[in-house]
């Protein structure tokens, strides 16, 4: 088992990475304040893994409630959130009952947010079953739902007590979702870990075969990167903003096409290429470096060209993003290959980039 | 001006108590990260005070947005919360825009919760205009909305940056609401401040005349009591639970009759009498002490007899309360006059009390 510590002063916790974790209740049992949990998952994941997890818990004497949501980013809204809260209230779950998120980023974000606001906060545990959730969304305590006027606009910073990344679950992941997760893995290399970017260039073939050794290393290294950044800046007042590399463009793509048409990771891949091209425009990146980024994303079966949204729509969508300060749009761009930084683009530069 | 400090380690703030604070923007201006605010209030309070506050802010160069909600506890729900969030998004408020709650406990609780979850948290300021809000709900960071299955079931611990208690606003308060606020004032005497209880016995006539000197002292002393308890236990893991004296019974009354039929303070008054009688049952309080409590509440024009709900309904409503642990209902009862403590009641005792 590989363990990554998230060193938050008030609420440190561990990410455990290994095969077979779903069938072993001991790590979960050790951190429950009450022998009772509610497992939130979606229909797709329920069919694959809910039975295993529930059996493991029940046979350790832990009372479990199942809450099964519909599957898809389009359900990351008030209505589905209320399904969770209603179920908790109907079954009289208490504030020491623990909520377990079993699924991908959508399940994790909504479950974490439900835990943050149910009776003003109950404990929760992340059991991410997608690559994207294992390397990104399950770590760091960002929880949220979408609003018709913007993605992740309503939410809370709320940390899990434990993250269990069972590598076995990645073997059943559809190819498209697996690739979407690789977009966030590649992102860590571009933020500030050039050696990892180069490792990914050497090992992309193994990762695309879902080789267990390569996967374990990629998940661990990604979590280490994320944990370090989150521990330095839990509330995104500084360096944590770098985790949004590709996200201002990416969120506009997701919202512009309608949530769920492109997967989050796909939009982030195209968004990172736009960020690379913007960095080239500013003279920070050479054309061959932009090409290396595009090639690595393409080898991960990810899109590298953003859809046509029209300039006015791009601007409207990006102005809605949370990374707006006093009316200017802030981007994460690259200072050189393997090192990102905050930067602002003016309208002429954006016009050149997006046309 | 009287100042009470709320000494929270990660987010200390001050409560300012004086006349005329609404017309003075300087205290607010000093704590804004961006010269932009959204003021949330209700129709009743808007007619009385919104103009004053908005003008003071605008003439200090602060951009203001008004969000006016319907008035009443029955609107403390998802739908009204969404009105706030929708308005913030439609007007592109940013995460450094500050939300100001201008009103009583309902406005403060909902606005604070909206601030907690808008873009994962924006700054907020409490400007309480009722006695109950000034002495209780605006201090301590409990925010929430109601759910059909229970009061304040969905919410967050989220601290304001500043609390401005303008004593002038108490002069326009309807008599019934004023009395409801006195219930929470009396509560502090019963929790652990016998000298204050005795001061209230001597000064209830002045308070009922809304004498400014008496009011200023009562608000300050109440806030000191609340601030001390909250600073010792922000998340209600221990001593803070004592602030719920009368609340397990009171919440059942409010929910049992339908939110808004009895005011919160009225339900708490009747709930504190039940707590006193339960304490007498346990041999902790003498009959003459129970009578002193009833008399003081009556002199504040508060109800001291709970409505008939029927035993089964009482039990059902109380089991839904957040103060349930492993299926047992926890109460705040009195160890002696002027000192409360946590205690459990068994079904036979509850039957005797509630029949």
Measured between beta carbons, the chain A residues lying within 8 angstroms of B238 are none
Pairing of strands B13-18, B2-6: antiparallel
Most confident range (mean pLDDT) of A46-50, A324-328, B252-256 is: A46-50
Binding residues of B for Zn(2+): 184, 247, 264
pLDDT at position A255 is 86
pLDDT at position B346 is 86
Report the CATH number that the domain containing residue A319 is assigned in CATH.
1.20.1090.10
Which B-chain residues 109-128 have CB contacts (< 8 A) with chain A?
113, 116-121
Pairing of strands A339-344, A328-336: antiparallel
Rounded CA separation A113/A160 (Å):
11
Are B194 and B339 contacting, i.e. CB atoms less than 8 angstroms apart? yes
Q: Which of A30-44, A234-248, B100-114, B311-325 has the lowest mean pLDDT?
A: B311-325
pLDDT at position A106 is 95
Distance of residue A216 Cα from the nearest chain B Cα, in angstroms:
31
Measured between beta carbons, the chain B residues lying within 8 angstroms of A320 are 89, 92
Measured between beta carbons, the chain B residues lying within 8 angstroms of A10 are 10
Cα three-residue angle A309-A312-A317, rounded to 5 degrees: 70
Mean pLDDT over B279-288 rounds to 97
- Please tell me if residue B264 touches chain A, with a CB cutoff of 8 Å: no
- Please tell me if residue A93 touches chain B, with a CB cutoff of 8 Å: no
Is A73 annotated to bind a ligand? Reply is yes
Q: Which of A16-20, A207-211, A248-252, B7-11 has the lowest mean pLDDT?
A: B7-11
Nearest CA to A149 out of A251, A271, A269, A272 is that of A251
Q: CB count, 10 Å around CB of B189?
A: 23
End-of-domain residue from the set A135, A150, A172: A172
- Are A92 and A224 part of one and the same domain? no
Token digits of residue B89? 């998004």
Is A321 annotated to bind a ligand? Reply is no
- Are A186 and A128 part of one and the same domain? no
> For residue B332, what is the DSSP state?
E
Distance of residue A152 Cα from the nearest chain B Cα, in angstroms:
7
Report the CATH number that the domain containing residue B16 is assigned in CATH.
3.40.50.1970
pLDDT at position B151 is 82
Q: How many CA atoms lie within 13 A of B67 on its CB side?
A: 27
Rounded CA separation A50/A47 (Å):
7
Rounded CA separation A263/A150 (Å):
16
Nearest CA to B300 out of B265, B264, B336, B271 is that of B265
Distance of residue A286 Cα from the nearest chain B Cα, in angstroms:
35
Which B-chain residues 20-49 have CB contacts (< 8 A) with chain A?
34
Are B109 and B152 contacting, i.e. CB atoms less than 8 angstroms apart? yes
Rounded CA separation A94/A32 (Å):
13
pLDDT in tens, A77-118: 999 999 999 999 999 999 999 999 999 999 999 999 999 999
- Are A332 and A303 part of one and the same domain? yes
List, as one string, the DSSP characters of B225-243.
HHHHHHHH-TTSSSGGGGG
Token digits of residue A166? 């069972």
Residue B225 lies in a domain: no
Measured between beta carbons, the chain B residues lying within 8 angstroms of A230 are none
pLDDT in tens, A237-264: 889 999 999 999 999 999 899 877 999 9
Number of domains present in the structure of chain B: 2
Rounded CA separation A293/A289 (Å):
6
> Active-site positions of B?
120, 142, 184, 226, 236, 240, 244, 247, 251, 264
Q: How many CA atoms lie within 13 A of B139 on its CB side?
A: 34
End-of-domain residue from the set A141, A172, A203: A172
pLDDT at position A354 is 92
Query: Considering all CA atoms of chain A, what is the largest pairwise distance in Å, rounded to the nearest integer?
Result: 63
Task: Give the three-state DSSP class for A97.
Answer: coil
List, as one string, the DSSP characters of A187-216.
HHHHHH-HHHHHHHHHHHHHHHTT-HHHHH
Q: What percent of chain A has pLDDT over 70?
A: 97
pLDDT at position A191 is 98
- Please tell me if residue A145 touches chain B, with a CB cutoff of 8 Å: no
pLDDT at position B326 is 62
Residue B221 lies in a domain: no
- Please tell me if residue A82 touches chain B, with a CB cutoff of 8 Å: yes
Residue B229 lies in a domain: no
Rounded CA separation A41/A38 (Å):
10
Are A308 and A163 contacting, i.e. CB atoms less than 8 angstroms apart? no
- The secondary structure element, H or E, covering residue B19 is none
Q: Is B154 in Cβ contact with A85 (below 8 Å)?
A: yes
Which of A117, A320, A326 has the CB atom closest to B156's CB atom? A117
Cβ burial, residue A280 (10 Å; 0-12/13-18/19+): middle
Measured between beta carbons, the chain A residues lying within 8 angstroms of B153 are 85, 89, 118-119
Rounded CA separation B242/B275 (Å):
12
The string over A8-34, giving b where at least 16 C-beta atoms fall within 10 Å of a residue's C-beta and e elsewhere, is: eeeeebbbbbbbebbebbeebeeebeb
Which of B92, B116, B324 has the CB atom closest to A156's CB atom? B116
Between the alpha carbon of residue A332 and those of residues A115, A287, A294, A345, the distances in Å are 30, 18, 17, 10
pLDDT at position B347 is 85
Selected residue of B117, B240, B316 to mutate for chain A interface (largest A Cβ count, 10 A): B117
Residue B217 lies in a domain: no
In B135-254, DSSP assigns E strands to 142-147, 150-157, 162-166
- Are B185 and B162 part of one and the same domain? no
pLDDT at position B323 is 63
- Please tell me if residue B147 touches chain A, with a CB cutoff of 8 Å: yes
- Are B116 and B198 part of one and the same domain? no
Between the alpha carbon of residue B138 and those of residues A246, B114, B309, the distances in Å are 40, 14, 30
Measured between beta carbons, the chain A residues lying within 8 angstroms of B149 are 86, 89-90
3-state helix, strand, coil in chain A (%, to 5): 50, 20, 30
Nearest CA in chain A to B90: A149
- The secondary structure element, H or E, covering residue A170 is none
The residues, any chain, with a CB within 8 Å of residue B248's CB and separated by 6 or more, are B271, B318, B321, B323, B329, B330, B331, B332
Q: Is B144 in Cβ contact with A120 (below 8 Å)?
A: yes
Mean pLDDT over B297-301 rounds to 98
Range of the domain at B107: 2-172
Is A76 annotated to bind a ligand? Reply is yes
pLDDT in tens, B6-26: 999 888 999 999 999 999 999
pLDDT at position B148 is 87
Are B85 and B38 contacting, i.e. CB atoms less than 8 angstroms apart? no
- Are A165 and A192 part of one and the same domain? no
End-of-domain residue from the set A172, A204, A226: A172
- Are A168 and A228 part of one and the same domain? no
Rounded CA separation A106/A133 (Å):
9
pLDDT in tens, B227-263: 999 999 988 888 999 999 999 999 999 989 987 799 9
- The sign of the torsion formed by the CA atoms of B215, B219, B222, B224 equals negative
Cβ burial, residue A344 (10 Å; 0-12/13-18/19+): exposed
pLDDT at position A270 is 98
- Are A131 and A192 part of one and the same domain? no
pLDDT band at B136 (very low <50, low <70, confident <90, very high): very high
Q: How far apart are the first and last CA of chain A?
A: 48
- Please tell me if residue B237 touches chain A, with a CB cutoff of 8 Å: no
- Are B133 and B163 part of one and the same domain? yes
Q: Is A118 in Cβ contact with B89 (below 8 Å)?
A: no
pLDDT in tens, B83-132: 999 999 999 999 999 999 999 999 999 999 999 999 999 999 999 999 99
Q: Is B95 in Cβ contact with A155 (below 8 Å)?
A: no
Rounded CA separation A301/A292 (Å):
14
Residue B338 lies in a domain: yes
Phi–psi pair at A32, nearest 5 degrees: -90, 130
- Are A253 and A160 part of one and the same domain? no
Measured between beta carbons, the chain A residues lying within 8 angstroms of B95 are 322
Q: Is A149 in Cβ contact with B117 (below 8 Å)?
A: no
Mean pLDDT over A124-132 rounds to 97
- The sign of the torsion formed by the CA atoms of A216, A217, A218, A219 equals positive
Are B36 and B97 contacting, i.e. CB atoms less than 8 angstroms apart? yes
pLDDT at B295 over 80: yes
More confident residue, A328 or A270: A270
> Active-site positions of A?
120, 142, 184, 226, 236, 240, 244, 247, 251, 264
Cβ burial, residue B298 (10 Å; 0-12/13-18/19+): middle
pLDDT at position A323 is 62
Mean pLDDT over A28-44 rounds to 97
pLDDT at position A327 is 60
- Are B143 and B179 part of one and the same domain? no
Q: How many CA atoms lie within 13 A of B272 on its CB side?
A: 37
Residue B153 lies in a domain: yes
Residue B344 lies in a domain: yes
- The secondary structure element, H or E, covering residue B106 is helix B105-117
Quickly list H helices, A4-65: 26-29, 43-45, 51-58
Q: Is B235 in Cβ contact with A89 (below 8 Å)?
A: no
Residue B271 lies in a domain: yes
Q: What percent of chain B has pLDDT over 90?
A: 87
pLDDT at A322 over 70: no
Q: Is A121 in Cβ contact with B92 (below 8 Å)?
A: no
pLDDT in tens, A134-165: 999 999 999 999 998 888 999 999 999 999 99
- Are B292 and B244 part of one and the same domain? yes
Measured between beta carbons, the chain B residues lying within 8 angstroms of A119 are 153-155, 322
Q: Is B89 in Cβ contact with A150 (below 8 Å)?
A: yes
């Amino acid at each position: 088992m590989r363990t990554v510590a998230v060193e938050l002063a008030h609420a440190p916790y561990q990410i455990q990475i290994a095969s077979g974790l779903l069938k072993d209740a001991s790590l979960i049992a050790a951190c429950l304040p009450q022998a009772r949990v509610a497992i939130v998952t979606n229909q797709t994941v329920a069919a694959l893994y809910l039975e295993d997890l529930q059996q493991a818990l029940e046979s350790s004497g832990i009372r479990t409630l199942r809450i099964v949501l519909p599957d898809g980013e389009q359900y990351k809204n008030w209505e589905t959130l209320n399904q969770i809260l209603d179920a908790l209230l109907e079954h009289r779950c208490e504030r020491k009952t623990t909520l377990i998120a079993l699924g991908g980023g959508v399940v994790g974000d909504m479950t974490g947010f439900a835990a943050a606001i149910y009776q003003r906060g109950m404990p929760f545990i992340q059991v991410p079953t997608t690559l994207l959730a294992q390397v990104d969304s399950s770590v760091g305590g960002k929880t949220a739902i979408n609003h018709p006027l913007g993605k992740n606009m309503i939410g809370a910073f709320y940390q899990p007590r434990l993250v269990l990344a069972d590598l076995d679950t990645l073997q059943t992941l559809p190819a498209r979702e697996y690739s979407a997760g690789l977009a966030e893995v590649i992102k860590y290399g571009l933020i500030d870990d050039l050696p990892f970017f180069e490792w990914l260039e050497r090992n992309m073939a193994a990762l695309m075969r879902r080789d267990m050794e390569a996967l374990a290393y990629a998940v661990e290294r990604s979590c280490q990167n994320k944990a370090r950044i989150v521990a330095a800046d839990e509330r995104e007042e500084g360096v944590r903003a770098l985790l949004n590399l590709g996200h201002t463009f990416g969120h506009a793509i997701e919202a512009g096409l309608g949530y769920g048409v492109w997967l989050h990771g796909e939009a982030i891949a195209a968004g990172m290429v736009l960020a690379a091209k913007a960095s080239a425009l500013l003279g920070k990146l050479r054309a061959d470096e932009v090409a290396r980024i595009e090639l690595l994303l393409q080898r991960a079966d990810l899109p590298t060209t953003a859809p046509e949204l029209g300039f006015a729509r791009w601007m409207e969508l990006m102005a809605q993003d949370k990374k707006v300060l006093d009316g200017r749009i802030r981007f994460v761009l690259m200072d050189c290959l393997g090192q990102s930084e905050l930067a602002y683009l003016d309208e002429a530069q954006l016009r050149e980039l997006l046309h």
